[in-house]
Amino acid sequence: MEKRWWHDSVVYQIYPRSFCDSNGDGIGDIQGIISKLDYIQSLGADVIWLSPVYQSPMDDNGYDISDYQAIAPEFGTMEDMRELLDKAKQRDIRIVMDLVVNHTSDEHPWFVEAKSNPDSEYRDFYIWRDAKEDGSKPNDIDSIFGGSAWQWDEENQQYFFHLFSKRQPDLNWENPTLHQKVFDMMNWWIDQGIGGFRLDVIDLIGKEIDKGITGNGERLHPLLQKMNQATFGDKDLLTVGETWGATPDIAKLYSNPDRDELSMVFQFEHITLTWQDGDKWQPKPLDLVEFKQVLTKWQVELKNDGWNSLFWNNHDLPRVVSKYGCDKEFRVESAKMLATTLHFMKGTPYIFQGEEIGMTNVAFDTIDQYKDIETLNFYKVKTESGVSHDHMLKAIHENGRDNARTPMHWNNSSNAGFTSGQPWIELNPNYQTINVSDALEDKNSIFYHYQQLIALRKAHPVIVYGDFIPLLEDHSQVFAYERKDENEHIVVINNFSKERINVSLPSHLSGKSCTTLITNESTLTAIPETCTLNPYESFALKIEG
Ligand code: GLC
Ligand code: CA
């Protein structure tokens, strides 16, 4: 496989609204990000994925864009954006922009024009349909945020289509004039010196709604090839698609370099394992054997002709230490264990802001403390259809998107040093004990564990390119695997449970001498036949000789 710079990069995701507020209006902003570049550099991340900072009415916190070539005033100006790109570049950090082109805001001039003037060239940039004869909507496709995907427009006496909120009308990717506009905009950003794109819900752009197709339509891959050719194809950029419906075979279509589509995709199969029947509002416990099977399948199947992204959480998902670890007495141990498990796999790792200090889920008492449109929409839809308030609040505590969106904890002063004003969403009260400033002072903190993991990836090509070999596949508490190439051999062992356990290690390993590359507890110099693991204990061992 031809080597690319993003193969051994580590990406740090910033959700700007919740990262750092420089001017006291309670909303994180670009100057706030600039003030923390040294922090990100000290972690060792070399790419920042910036969630949207474009002009937006913020119905979905910026995933509803009203001008792709302007910055939202609450985040700053285009000058601030240029300064961010410059200052990041001085630190060898690239900025990957979020590209949201499945839909725009209803305040985008294209939509405003399309709605007010049916004869305008922009009319066909969106998806309009007549009502059925009885006045009902064209079909039963639902919005991903709850309710129907069709919104009746009184003015036009037609429905328009929206897979997300009704303020996020879907773009019509069957219109070639639209393609050109989007490609021009992408090229403009490329000319500003960005490091690539994260393509929001990109698997939906090939939709054929009259056939009931939304994700993974036949039109999708030709569209991506066209986009690649017209924009980033001949540039050295990182592109990562958000693709909820991807299987390994589909992921290879996107990420096989011979196909000229994307660098990699975010696959969600491991995430949805804790959703009963694909419904995040019906959480179920993690089955570790199943979890390992899924992650192993992705490691093995994308081995030669594709590339994996590696992530546990992002701005749409609960905090990893709360989800798969223990956010109480074993918070530090389990956060380190989870980090080791992920960062020794093959692929490009992504860290979501606050993950590197073990930030946890939040449990607000009342629904009006929540700000996320998906959470609020579903609360309404589900409680109206008979689901109890208690059930929904519990599900929101477990899987709601605001878990990831409470402000970053910089220190233990008021509002965690996030803002000197009134934060746009309440903080997680545990910032007194979980914050960056304390983490930087403790050499055993989760932060330094992440720093070490990133440094190890840079120092050992086997972590980036070696083979992945699962171990103890049927074990219900331990996630273990080997990484191997012609030069190096690493064994990674992680206890995913709260229990102290004994595990017998495979005979081909026992007795071999080793050095401990990273650990959250013990240091080993030889691989034992039987290994005693404390709760959430985890280490990576390099076999010597
Ligand atoms: C993606 C984003 C999410 C957003 C949605 C609509 O899933 O990650 O935050 O709400 O797309 O743009
Ligand atoms: Ca601000």
Nearest residue to 156 via CA among 203, 120, 204, 184: 120
Contact between 288 and 323 under an 8 Å Cβ cutoff? The reply is no
Nearest to 1 by CA among 422, 321, 302, 395: 302
Q: For residue 373, give the ligand nearest its CA.
A: 1
Three-state secondary structure readout of 194-261: CCEEEECCHHHCCCEHHHCECCCCCCHHHHHHHHHHHCCCCCCCEEEEECCCCCHHHHHHHHCHHHCC
Mutate to test the pocket of ligand 1, among 53, 63, 214 (most ligand atoms within 8 A of CB): 63
Q: What is the CA radius of gyration of the chain?
A: 23
The residues lining ligand 1, judged by C-beta closer than 6 Å to any ligand atom, are 60, 63, 100, 164, 200-201, 242, 315-316
Task: Give me the tens of pLDDT residue by residue for the chain, a chain 545 residues long.
Answer: 899 999 999 999 999 999 999 999 999 999 999 999 999 999 999 999 999 999 999 999 999 999 999 999 999 999 999 999 999 999 999 999 999 999 999 999 999 999 999 999 999 999 999 999 999 999 999 999 999 999 999 999 999 999 999 999 999 999 999 999 999 999 999 999 999 999 999 999 999 999 999 999 999 999 999 999 999 999 999 999 999 999 999 999 999 999 999 999 999 999 999 999 999 999 999 999 999 999 999 999 999 999 999 999 999 999 999 999 999 999 999 999 999 999 999 999 999 999 999 999 999 999 999 999 999 999 999 999 999 999 999 999 999 999 999 999 999 999 999 999 999 999 999 999 999 999 999 999 999 999 999 999 999 999 999 999 999 999 999 999 999 999 999 999 999 999 999 999 999 999 999 999 999 999 999 999 999 999 999 999 999 97
Taking the mean position of all CA atoms in its chain, how far away is CA 283? 19
* Cα 31 to middle of ligand 1, angstroms: 24
Residue with tokens 């899987």: 399
Structure token pair of residue 86: 């410059």
Q: Is the dihedral of CA 119, 122, 124, 127 positive or negative?
A: negative
- Centre of ligand 2 to C-alpha 145, Å, is 28
3-class DSSP assignment, residue 308: strand
From CA 144, how far away is CA 398, in angstroms rounded? 19
Q: Which two tokens stand for residue 333?
A: 């141990």
Q: In whole angstroms, what is the distance from residue 154 CA to residue 47 CA?
A: 45
Protein residue closest via CA to atom 2 of ligand 1: 200
Q: For CA atoms 497, 502, 507, 509, give the dihedral sign.
A: positive
- Cβ–Cβ < 8 Å for 6, 255: no
Q: Which residues contact 445 (CB under 8 A, 6 or more apart)?
A: 332, 357, 438, 439
Residue 8 has φ and ψ, to the nearest 5°, of -110, 20
Pocket test for ligand 1, best of 50, 102, 201, 309 (most atoms within 8 A of CB): 201
Which numbered ligand comes closest to the C-alpha of 23? 2
Distance 61 CA to ligand 1 centre (A): 9
Per-residue tokens: 172 = 């019509």
**Residues identified as active-site:** 200, 242
Identify which of 164, 280, 378 to mutate to test ligand 1's pocket (most ligand atoms within 8 A of the CB): 164
- Beta partners for residue 99, in sequence order: 199
Distances in whole angstroms, Cα of residue 101 to Cα of each of 66, 105, 168, 459, 475: 11, 10, 10, 37, 43
Q: What is the pTM of this model?
A: 0.98
Residue found under tokens 């985008």: 108
Enter the tokens of residue 448: 């330094």
Amino acid at 528: P
Neighbours of ion ligand 2 (CB under 5 A): 21, 23, 25, 27, 29
Give 184's DSSP letter: H
Task: Give nearest CA residue, ligand 1 atom 7.
Answer: 201
Distances (CA, A) of 461 to 8, 341, 346: 8, 17, 10
SS3 assignment, position 101: coil
State in Å: Cα 175 to ligand 1 middle: 23
Give the number of the ligand closest to the Cα of residue 421.
2
Pick the residue whose CA is nearest to atom 4 on ligand 1: 63
